[in-house]
């Protein structure tokens, strides 16, 4: 077994001073596809590929770990819009099947595609604001970069 270090941490004024990170503004900036720190540089270099770093402030975006969370959130958001609408229309009106498929499927598809990048940006902004996955100023030792 490895011996754990029992040396006490010494807290000073400098160790307590960290950059203030507002969660809501970081998520709004990410939702708009901008850097969560400064709001100026682009967050994405392609549709769902994040840039390596911010062109304005130099923030490194490589430690983000959005994974599948944006897709799950988009499913929940679009599902909560589409399903009640379909239920309301189908219970009050008798629409033909071809019209049903011609209206609901494209709307669901384009709404999902339209929300996927903004939701991923908001998730990256949330991770930066909460200092998750390597966005911390002092990452712990012994954890390799992703």
Residue 89 domain-assigned? yes
Residue 94 has a pLDDT of 86
Residue 18 has a pLDDT of 64
Residue 35 has a pLDDT of 94
Residue 32 domain-assigned? yes
- The proportion of the chain whose per-residue pLDDT surpasses 90, expressed as a percent, equals 59
Cα separation, 122 vs 127, in Å, equals 9
pLDDT for 73-123, tens place per residue? 999 999 999 999 999 998 999 889 898 889 999 999 999 999 999 999 999
Q: Cα 111 to chain center, whole Å? A: 17
Number of residues that make up the chain: 146
What is the average pLDDT value for the chain, to the nearest integer? 86
On the CB side of 62, CA atoms within 13 Å amount to 7
Question: Which range marks the domain in which residue 58 is found?
Answer: 22-130
Residue 121 domain-assigned? yes
Cα separation, 68 vs 54, in Å, equals 23
> Is it the case that residue 51 has pLDDT exceeding 50?
yes
Residue 74 domain-assigned? yes
- Could you give the number of structural domains in the chain? 1
Structure tokens at 69: 């969370």
Residue 95 has a pLDDT of 87
Element (H, E) at 42: none
Residue 135 domain-assigned? no
> Is it the case that residue 4 has pLDDT exceeding 70?
no
Whole-prediction pTM value? Answer: 0.79
Burial class of residue 123 in the structure, from the number of CB atoms within 10 Å of its CB (0-12 exposed, 13-18 middle, 19+ buried): buried
Residue 146 has a pLDDT of 46
Residue 49 has a pLDDT of 94
> Is it the case that residue 3 has pLDDT exceeding 70?
no
Q: How many CB atoms lie within 10 A of CB 44?
A: 17
Cα separation, 119 vs 125, in Å, equals 10
Task: Tell me the pLDDT band of 6, cut-offs 50, 70 and 90.
Answer: low
């Amino acid at each position: 077994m490895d011996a754990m270090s029992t040396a006490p941490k010494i807290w000073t004024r400098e160790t307590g001073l960290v950059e203030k990170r507002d969660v809501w503004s970081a998520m709004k900036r990410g939702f708009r596809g901008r850097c969560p720190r400064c709001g100026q540089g682009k967050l994405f270099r392609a549709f769902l590929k994040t840039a390596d770093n911010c062109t304005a402030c130099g923030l490194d975006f490589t430690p983000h770990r959005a994974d599948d969370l944006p897709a799950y959130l988009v499913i929940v958001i679009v599902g909560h819009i589409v399903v009640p609408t379909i239920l309301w229309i189908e219970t009050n009106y008798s629409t033909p099947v071809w019209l049903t498929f011609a209206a609901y499927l494209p709307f669901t598809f384009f709404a999902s595609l339209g929300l996927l990048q903004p939701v991923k940006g908001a998730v990256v902004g949330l991770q930066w604001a909460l200092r998750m996955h390597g966005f911390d100023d002092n990452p712990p030792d012994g954890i390799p970069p992703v």
